[in-house]
Amino acid sequence: MTSRIPRDSRLRLVRPRPLAAAPSAVNQRRPRRAAPRPPEGTPAPAELARMARSGLAAAARVARWADNALGPGKDAATIDGRATLSHATAERAASDLGLSVDQVRADWDTARLAGLIEVHGASARPGWRLRAWDRDDSAVLRGWVALFDAWSLAITEPADEEPATVAEVVSAMPQVLSFLQLSAGPVPVDQLLDLLAQRVTELRTERCEIPYAAGADGDAATAEATGFTAPALTTATAAPLGLAEPAQAADPVELTPLLDWALHALTSVGALTCGDGQATLTPLGSWATWVKLEQICVAAQSPAGNIEQAAEDMLRGCAQLRPNAARSEYRAWLAARTVGSAVTELLVAARGEDALLRGLAFEALRVVGAPAEPDVRAVVDEPALRPYALLWLAEHDGVDPEDAHEVLTREEATWLWVDTAAAVADHGEAPMLVRHLESALQPTVPALLNEVRAVGHPRTVQVLVALAAAHPDPALAKAVRRAAFQVHTGGS
């Protein structure tokens, strides 16, 4: 007995098209939060932008020179064979601009940190902010904030200081800046030194908590039952057990050179003024610090409350948010951390088994922007991250997001399709997984299954089984189940 329902044995797919992200049904519209007003006395955005343009005028001048002299088709670009600031190019710029070579290099570095110049591997090109510099106040302010965020790169730290101590000071400076902003006036440097020492000590304490030894829970229960308590662990008793030593309190005297370096670097970017043993935030520095504090407060008041979470938990909390709301959470989470540590956390989360977190991690890295480029470029050779990293780099290089997929090979695109399908299978609904077929590059299901089997994604079997269970077409579901069985058994 045969069915009279006609079937297409070729199992053709519909025309490929990008899979639209369907908003979750659990998302409810929340009332918009009123835009916060900056502290009284904060200049208007137009005035802040004027200050930023004035402070970055030298950097913009070098960036424009590089645009004219080192752009594609310019003879000067052949001086060093690439659009980077070699010694010959620096001398040429110094001669053309009437500056010293050291000043040209300093202005070049400032332009890079502010996003006026973007360096991609062995080449450099004008940043989009340079194009909008004279007409877009928001672009100017974002460029200055990027420089403000990178203050620790503006001036080299003291050579004789321990890198770990330097990292602690960099991590502690946001609290120092917050204190300066809340003080709304000059603060003695000695008071800032005490605050810095307290914060560094807190960081060391958080990092050096002594873990319980094996059996500690049982010992605690015994002590509670008998009324006896175990003696406190000391450095002498903890060391033989392999436990961490108690945190060492920060010495203000030892931190003095690093605080001087930090204040000098922040002064060089235009965030501070120092004199007579006191430090004061400039209007730009006060405004930028307030913006970051406001971002933190917004995240702390959000339903998800992601700001204190680790990267993986933060991404899970953002999974149910709409794109704009998720990006706001990313920005607030990033504002509470140094760029380096945040990028490292996000990439660690991306390396996990959850494909959804992998995609969200790179969405958060898009919010980070240019500072994340070296780390993203470094993971291009990791198979699980390569397609995401290539798309991120393509968009960062100015490729339209809708065309960025063209940088992927057929194999990489198929791997990404399977990874995305794994995310849908784990966190989405069956109809969404069926619609995911529409985003495949292959014109037919058999062609898709052949390439999916060959790509070697670790979740291939689970994805195919889920797809077969979700698809309403019995013939297609049977073909997908057969492919899943062949992958599972190693057949062809």
Mean pLDDT in the chain? Answer: 76
For the stretch 337-380, pLDDT in tens is 888 889 999 999 999 888 899 999 999 999 988 888 889 999 99
Q: pLDDT at residue 242 above 60?
A: no
The backbone torsions φ and ψ at residue 248, rounded to the nearest 5 degrees and listed phi first, read: -90, 130
Sort residue 223 into left (φ over 0), alpha (ψ -120 to 50) or beta: alpha
For residue 264, name the pLDDT band (cuts at 50, 70, 90).
very high
Predicted TM-score of the model (pTM):
0.58
Which pLDDT does position 50 carry in this prediction? 93
187 strand-pairing partners? 279
∠ CA 142-387-403, rounded to 5°: 65
Q: pLDDT at residue 464 above 90?
A: no
User: Considering the chain, what percentage of its residues have pLDDT values greater than 70?
Assistant: 75
305's CB contacts (< 8 A; 6+ apart) are: 299, 317
- Cα atoms in the 13 Å half-sphere on the side-chain side of 23: 11
Extract the tokens encoding 407: 């940088």
Task: Please measure the distance between the N-terminal and C-terminal CA atoms of the chain and give it in whole angstroms.
Answer: 31
Q: pLDDT at residue 223 above 60?
A: no
Mean pLDDT score, 268-274 = 91
Which pLDDT does position 411 carry in this prediction? 87
Mean pLDDT score, 166-182 = 89
More confident residue, 492 or 48: 48
Q: pLDDT at residue 226 above 90?
A: no
Which pLDDT does position 149 carry in this prediction? 86
Instruction: Write the CA distances from 491 to 445, 465, 479, integer angstroms.
Output: 18, 16, 14
Instruction: Please give the Cα distance from 365 to 385 (Å, whole number).
Output: 13
10's CB contacts (< 8 A; 6+ apart) are: 444, 446
Which pLDDT does position 122 carry in this prediction? 61
For residue 327, name the pLDDT band (cuts at 50, 70, 90).
confident
Among 32-41, 158-167, 238-247, 261-270, name the one with the lowest average pLDDT: 238-247
